[in-house]
Amino acid sequence: MRLVFIGPPGAGKGTQAEKIVARYQLAHLSTGDMLRAARAAGTELGRKADQYMSAGQLVPDDLIIALIRQRLEQPDCRGGYLLDGFPRTIAQAEALDLMLAEKGTPLDVVLELQVDDEAIKQRLAGRGRADDKPEVIAQRLVAYHQQTAPLLDYYGRAGLLRSIDGMGTIDEVFARVRSVLDPLAG
Ligand code: AMP
């Protein structure tokens, strides 16, 4: 199964992503995790990405697309993967479509986790990551609504979008995830 997981920052996407990759045995491709690793390792990519990440802004598309292109070549992606935090812009989605069309491996589903902004602000305020300061959170939400939310239309038109309610306990939300993904799992 090849799936894209979309949701605002703080929607509980990371937690659900862990459960999804375990249940369906998928590689977990989180661009946020890759960028944080690059930053911690002090690579050129990490240094370039840091200025955007710490301001709550999206890292430029060309850097992210190159990162994902390389990652998709790794052998563990052959058995299916979950894209977590990518694509975040229409340009990234179009680049992904092209890459996957070249490989003959289209996406199976795009899963959206829906959580309203107020719930997100409360959740993120309790999390304590460096980019979780209130002003950075607000900026990340702006980036989500302006740049990432248009993907919902994009994938809706492609007939790939399935949206679920992200409110409730981890298990309640995961039951909704399973009701969408179990029928698609081979
Ligand atoms: P995340 O952990 O997915 O919330 O990502 C943390 C930060 O990394 C984001 O606020 C962005 O600055 C950057 N980032 C992660 N994924 C992407 C992406 N696909 N496009 C642009 N920036 C990204």
Ligand 1 centroid to 129 CA: how many Å?
13
**Ligand 1 atom 6 nearest Cα:** 32
Ligand 1 centroid to 95 CA: how many Å?
17
Give the model confidence (pLDDT) of 33-86 as tens digits.
999 999 999 999 999 999 999 999 999 999 999 999 999 999 999 999 999 999
**pLDDT per position in the chain (186 positions), as tens?**
999 999 998 888 999 999 999 999 999 999 999 999 999 999 999 999 999 999 999 999 999 999 999 999 999 999 999 999 999 999 999 999 999 999 999 999 999 999 988 888 787 777 767 777 888 888 999 999 999 999 999 999 999 999 999 999 999 999 999 999 999 997
Q: How far apart are CA 137 and CA 135, in angstroms?
A: 5
Which residues are 179's β-sheet partners? none
Ligand 1 centroid to 48 CA: how many Å?
13
Q: How far apart are CA 158 and CA 93, in angstroms?
A: 12
Q: How far apart are CA 159 and CA 117, in angstroms?
A: 26
H helix runs in 25-163, sequence order? 31-41, 44-53, 61-72, 90-103, 117-125, 134-143, 150-157
pTM: 0.93
Ligand 1 centroid to 85 CA: how many Å?
6
Distances (CA, A) of 161 to 10, 83, 107, 145, 176: 20, 14, 11, 17, 14
Backbone φ and ψ of 113, nearest 5°: -100, 120
**Ligand 1 atom 19 nearest Cα:** 86
In contact, 162 and 4? CB cutoff 8 Å:
no
Ligand 1 in reach of 88 Cβ (< 6 A): yes
Which residues are 27's β-sheet partners? 81
Ligand 1 in reach of 120 Cβ (< 6 A): no
Report the pLDDT value the prediction gives residue 136, as an integer from 0 to 100.
87
2-24 as b/e: b if 16+ CB within 10 A: bbbbbbbbbbbbbebbeebbeeb
Choose which residue among 15, 18, 35 to substitute to test ligand 1 binding: the one with the highest number of ligand atoms within 8 A of its C-beta: 35
Report the pLDDT value the prediction gives residue 164, as an integer from 0 to 100.
97
End-to-end Cα, the chain, rounded Å = 8
With both helix axes pointing from N to C terminus, report the angle between 150-157 and 90-103 in degrees, rounded to the nearest 10. Answer: 30
